[in-house]
């Protein structure tokens, strides 16, 4: 066996082989794949092999589309047989909510450039010789790209393609240990010897957590059961030689397609059942299945037969109840491992036949270029921290399994496995009516049920129980003052004589003066936006960075990777680990009753920072406001939050203070036209696309991404970041819905809200540069219906920042 390799991939399922293939195609043939048993012996061999493009995000659609494009002629290209059948798929809807969802999906597809389209019951009927809409089907959506593939053949073809380009595969080589050498290389031990590798990729499927643990890392992968049934062959299918689409019926919760002359019927109708929750997967489960679970299929059989009567005539040939890997949010865990250089995860992949191609592309780009073409933040394993314990992961993955086919309402508040991270104010907030939600594992008040809505979790695309209370929260913040416990604010401390120079190299803007604050952006070498932080300079060599909650580990790794050898200390967090947001025109009055500090606009102007005492608590007071009001972020030690909170609430009583939550915060930041990470900017945009070029200082000297930024400044940006006001009554616009003019898609939206302070329904988004002038009208597609909209300034609330400066 090879003893040295640039890359070692652990796991020879479809994901590992797709990675090896993509690496080899990118010229990295000095790569070895180690597989415990035979290739495909984990989850891959028994997968149903369906490859949908239907997804609820651009990333999901792109991944599905990239897969079938790659697979359709892979067999010929690498000279390895593959049975691939391009069938298309339709998804019937039995409820109006489902029809609305399909309208939304169609909109996402349009904005992403795919043709998923509406079908009438009659059109579906005509496409399928054995399916009937009956009386319940209202319509549906067509995924013309879906097909199915033999997963074992696919894996073998990927493996052959990689081998032909020089990559090596060692079967029957279980990895038993991973240790790091002082050089940073890792020694991967297997029963067949050791390989020293510059880079290691964990593609261990449902063994992903075990492999991570060998390297001293944690990744929240769990195993659930998933099952389909293959019927006995049917004469009618034998006689029917034509191709007909797969049917995926999310209301009845089944998928059904032809498998040779039989039907393959899969179901998500049963509860998500974790396997090996206490022990993790056993060492010897190659090519094995769980016992059949006939009842699970029986649950959907009657309703399925109502639409596919032929199914009633078929006996069961075999049940396939196999292990399916899941992450707590049912998305893959793909990208750099937290806190570990040159170690990548590609595990926890729930639909790996579909996603493996995109994962191969992504891991290869990470390795060869250090950044990816598509924004993969949603798949980045670092979205989970230590808080994603095995108990949490099992509970949440099971809840996702249960909801696999549920309508994915934007405000579904998942309840399982909570709480895992909370501030000392948690009980106090709940007692006062907070409806807590979870962001990055942190409990945060989403809204306060002051109207005593009986069903706080009622979901709808139109009116939800939080609308009226959030309106009141926003109005109170606008007219008086509001207080929010912002649990889990990402914070880093940077100190040392080289701190300013280092930060100036990692961020594109100038560093603030002592006592001042600046919002700044980190760019990738290609000049795309990696992330943002509010940088407060507390002293000459002392900076406090505050960033988005969900980027905590990802940005820390980025900052750590660029640290100089000496002169700078970077620490996650700071002594002031808690944060309260006190916002609104009376915030100064409230604070003034609790501090001796001079809070005047002259002494404590907008974008200043000071260490002061409030109600006897030492804290860092930052005059910034994500909601666009006069206000302070009060960064204090968690232990001091209860005292501080009570003091502020008591002092604020005479000014009409309210508590407010994340929903109000988000609505107000959209009215203010402030970008939200993960929604309005990310690694697919340049500062010029996003309207953020004013934050870069090209004159200050070198910084990461400067050369690319200079090149971008020479040619017009592809996109323009815009604000839209909806002119028709419509539900709240959802991200990725298309912006349309003269029947052409000219862009898509990224954030939308009812603006409770402005009385407008607002959206932020991107258009192709030059396609829409300020004030021009266009349409925004919301849940499949076009609504009239007008281009407006993205900042609809106090565009001159007079309130903040006051």
Binding site for ligand FAD (CB under 6 A): 10-16, 34-37, 41-44, 46-50, 174-175, 203-207, 211, 226-228, 286, 320, 322, 324-325, 349-354
Q: Are 560 and 547 in contact (CB under 8 A)?
A: no
| Cα(683)–Cα(523) distance, integer angstroms | 8
Q: With residue 64 as reference, give the H or E element that holds it.
A: helix 58-71
CB of 350: closest distance to ligand FAD in angstroms? 6
CB of 167: closest distance to ligand FAD in angstroms? 16
User: Tokens 């099992």 sit at which residue?
Assistant: 394
| Cα(4)–Cα(168) distance, integer angstroms | 12
Question: b/e per residue, 658-675, with b = 16+ CB within 10 A?
Answer: bbbbbbbbbbbbbbbbbb
Q: Which residues lie closer than 8 Å to 133 by C-beta, 6 or more apart?
A: 92, 121, 122, 124, 125, 307
CB of 200: closest distance to ligand FAD in angstroms? 12
Q: Are 17 and 33 in contact (CB under 8 A)?
A: yes
CB of 637: closest distance to ligand FAD in angstroms? 43
Given the complex with ligand FAD, which of 48 and 687 has the nearer CB atom?
A: 48
Q: Are 480 and 655 in contact (CB under 8 A)?
A: yes
Q: Which residues lie closer than 8 Å to 463 by C-beta, 6 or more apart?
A: none
CB of 156: closest distance to ligand FAD in angstroms? 13
| Cα(781)–Cα(444) distance, integer angstroms | 31
Q: How far is CA 729 from CA 87, 93, 663, in A?
A: 39, 25, 21
CB of 736: closest distance to ligand FAD in angstroms? 22
Question: b/e per residue, 392-404, with b = 16+ CB within 10 A?
Answer: bbbbbbbbbbbeb
CB of 324: closest distance to ligand FAD in angstroms? 4
| Cα(637)–Cα(578) distance, integer angstroms | 5
**314: region left, alpha or beta (phi > 0 left; psi from -120 to 50 alpha):** beta
Given the complex with ligand FAD, which of 15 and 517 has the nearer CB atom?
A: 15
* Nearest partner of 124 among 88, 100, 96, 149, judged by Cα: 88
Given the complex with ligand FAD, which of 352 and 548 has the nearer CB atom?
A: 352
Find how far residue 701's CA is from the centre of its chain: 34
Given the complex with ligand FAD, which of 228 and 530 has the nearer CB atom?
A: 228
CB of 50: closest distance to ligand FAD in angstroms? 4
The burial of 455, by beta-carbon neighbours within 10 Å (0-12 exposed, 13-18 middle, 19 or more buried), is given as exposed
Strand pairing class (631-636; 744-755): unpaired
Structure tokens, 83: 């049975």
CB of 206: closest distance to ligand FAD in angstroms? 6
Given the complex with ligand FAD, which of 227 and 534 has the nearer CB atom?
A: 227
CB of 183: closest distance to ligand FAD in angstroms? 23
CB of 371: closest distance to ligand FAD in angstroms? 23
CB of 177: closest distance to ligand FAD in angstroms? 9
CB of 237: closest distance to ligand FAD in angstroms? 19
User: Tokens 């000297």 sit at which residue?
Assistant: 701
Given the complex with ligand FAD, which of 23 and 453 has the nearer CB atom?
A: 23
Beta bridge partners of 521: 532
Given the complex with ligand FAD, which of 89 and 761 has the nearer CB atom?
A: 89
Given the complex with ligand FAD, which of 226 and 528 has the nearer CB atom?
A: 226
CB of 49: closest distance to ligand FAD in angstroms? 5
Q: Are 408 and 57 in contact (CB under 8 A)?
A: no
Given the complex with ligand FAD, which of 15 and 82 has the nearer CB atom?
A: 15
Q: How far is CA 702 from CA 370, 576, 699, 716, in A?
A: 19, 32, 9, 23
CB of 250: closest distance to ligand FAD in angstroms? 15
Q: Are 672 and 797 in contact (CB under 8 A)?
A: yes
CB of 20: closest distance to ligand FAD in angstroms? 11
Q: Which residues lie closer than 8 Å to 59 by C-beta, 6 or more apart?
A: 374, 375, 376, 378, 379
Q: Which residues lie closer than 8 Å to 731 by C-beta, 6 or more apart?
A: 461, 462, 782, 783
Cis peptide before 419 (omega within 30 of 0): yes
* Nearest partner of 324 among 303, 348, 343, 308, judged by Cα: 348
Task: Please write down the HEC assignment for all residues of 320-367.
Answer: EEEEEEECCCCCCEEEECCCCCCEEEEECCCCHHHHHHHHHHHHHHHH
Q: With residue 791 as reference, give the H or E element that holds it.
A: strand 785-792
CB of 31: closest distance to ligand FAD in angstroms? 15
Strand pairing class (785-792; 31-34): unpaired
Structure tokens, 111: 């904005």
Given the complex with ligand FAD, which of 16 and 75 has the nearer CB atom?
A: 16
CB of 393: closest distance to ligand FAD in angstroms? 16
The burial of 280, by beta-carbon neighbours within 10 Å (0-12 exposed, 13-18 middle, 19 or more buried), is given as middle
Structure tokens, 325: 């890997």
Q: Are 142 and 117 in contact (CB under 8 A)?
A: yes
Strand pairing class (50-51; 84-86): unpaired
């Amino acid at each position: 066996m090879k003893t040295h390799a640039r890359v070692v991939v652990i796991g020879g399922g479809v994901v590992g082989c797709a990675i090896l293939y993509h690496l080899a195609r990118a010229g990295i043939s000095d790569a070895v794949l180690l597989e415990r048993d035979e290739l495909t012996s984990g989850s891959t061999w028994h997968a149903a092999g369906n490859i949908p493009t239907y997804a609820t995000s651009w990333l999901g659609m792109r991944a599905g589309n990239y897969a079938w494009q790659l697979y359709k002629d892979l067999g010929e290209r690498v000279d390895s047989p593959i049975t691939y059948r391009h069938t298309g798929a339709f998804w019937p809807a039995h409820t109006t909510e489902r029809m609305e969802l399909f309208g939304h999906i169609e909109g996402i597809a349009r904005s992403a450039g795919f043709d998923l389209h509406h079908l009438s019951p009659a059109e579906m009927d005509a496409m399928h010789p054995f399916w009937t809409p009956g009386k319940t089907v209202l319509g549906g959506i067509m995924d013309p790209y879906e097909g199915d593939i033999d997963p074992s053949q696919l894996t073998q073809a990927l493996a052959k393609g990689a081998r032909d380009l020089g990559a090596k595969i060692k079967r029957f080589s279980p990895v038993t240990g991973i240790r790091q050498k002082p050089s940073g290389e890792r020694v991967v031990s297997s029963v067949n010897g050791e390989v020293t590798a510059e880079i290691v990729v964990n593609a261990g499927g449902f063994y992903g957590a075990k492999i991570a643990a060998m390297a001293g890392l944690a990744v929240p992968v769990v195993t659930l059961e998933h099952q389909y049934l293959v019927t006995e062959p049917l004469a009618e299918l034998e006689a029917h030689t034509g191709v007909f689409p797969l049917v995926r019926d999310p209301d009845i919760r089944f998928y059904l397609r032809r498998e040779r002359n039989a039907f393959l019927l899969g179901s998500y109708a049963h509860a998500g059942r974790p396997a090996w929750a206490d022990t993790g997967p056993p060492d010897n489960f190659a090519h094995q299945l769980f016992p059949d679970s006939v009842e699970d299929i029986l649950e959907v059989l009657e309703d399925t037969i109502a639409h596919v009567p032929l199914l009633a005539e078929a006996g069961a040939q075999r049940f396939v109840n196999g292990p399916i890997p899941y992450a707590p949010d049912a998305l893959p865990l793909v990208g750099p491992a937290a806190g570990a250089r040159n170690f990548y995860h590609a595990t926890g992949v729930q639909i790996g036949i579909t996603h493996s191609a995109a994962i191969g592309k992504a891991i290869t780009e990470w390795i060869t270029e250090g950044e990816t073409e598509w924004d993969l933040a949603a798949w980045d394993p670092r979205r989970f921290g230590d808080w994603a314990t095995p108990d949490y992961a099992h509970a949440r993955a099971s809840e996702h399994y249960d909801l696999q086919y549920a309508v994915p309402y934007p405000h579904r508040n998942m309840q399982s496995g909570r709480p895992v991270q909370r501030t000392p104010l948690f009980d106090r907030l709940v007692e006062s009516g907070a409806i807590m939600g979870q962001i990055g594992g942190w409990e945060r008040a989403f809204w306060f049920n002051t109207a005593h809505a009986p069903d706080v979790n009622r979901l709808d695309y139109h009116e939800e129980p939080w609308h009226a209370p959030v309106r009141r929260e926003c109005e109170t913040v606008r007219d008086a003052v509001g207080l929010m416990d912002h649990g889990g604010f990402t914070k880093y401390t940077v100190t040392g004589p080289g701190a300013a120079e280092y930060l100036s190299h990692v961020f594109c803007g100038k560093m603030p003066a002592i006592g001042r604050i600046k919002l700044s952006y980190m760019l990738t070498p290609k000049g795309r936006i990696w992330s943002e932080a509010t940088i407060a300079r507390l002293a000459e060599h002392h900076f406090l960075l505050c960033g988005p909650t969900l980027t905590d580990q990802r940005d820390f790794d980025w900052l750590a990777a660029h640290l100089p050898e000496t002169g700078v200390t970077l620490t996650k967090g700071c002594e002031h680990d808690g944060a309260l947001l006190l916002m609104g025109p009376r915030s100064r009055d409230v604070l003034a009753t609790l501090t001796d500090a001079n809070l005047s606009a002259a002494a404590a102007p907008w974008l200043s920072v000071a260490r002061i005492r409030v109600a006897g608590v030492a804290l860092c007071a930052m005059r910034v406001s994500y909601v666009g009001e006069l206000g302070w972020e009060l960064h204090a030690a968690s232990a001091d939050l209860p005292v501080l909170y009570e003091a502020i609430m008591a002092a604020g009583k005479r000014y009409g203070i309210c508590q407010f939550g994340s929903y109000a915060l988000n609505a107000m930041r959209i009215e203010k036209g402030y970008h939200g990470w993960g929604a309005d900017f990310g690694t697919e945009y340049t500062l010029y696309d996003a309207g953020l070029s004013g934050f870069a200082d090209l004159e200050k000297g070198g910084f990461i991404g400067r050369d690319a930024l200079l090149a971008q400044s020479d040619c017009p940006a592809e996109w323009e970041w815009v604000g839209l006001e909806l002119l028709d009554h419509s539900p709240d616009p959802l991200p990725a819905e298309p912006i349309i003019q003269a029947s052409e898609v000219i862009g898509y939206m990224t954030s939308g809200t009812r603006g409770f302070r402005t009385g407008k329904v607002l959206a932020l988004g991107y258009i192709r540069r030059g396609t829409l002038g300020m004030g021009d009208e266009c349409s925004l597609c919301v849940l499949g219906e076009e609504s009239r909209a007008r281009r407006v300034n993205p900042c609809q609330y106090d565009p001159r920042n007079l309130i903040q400066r006051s």
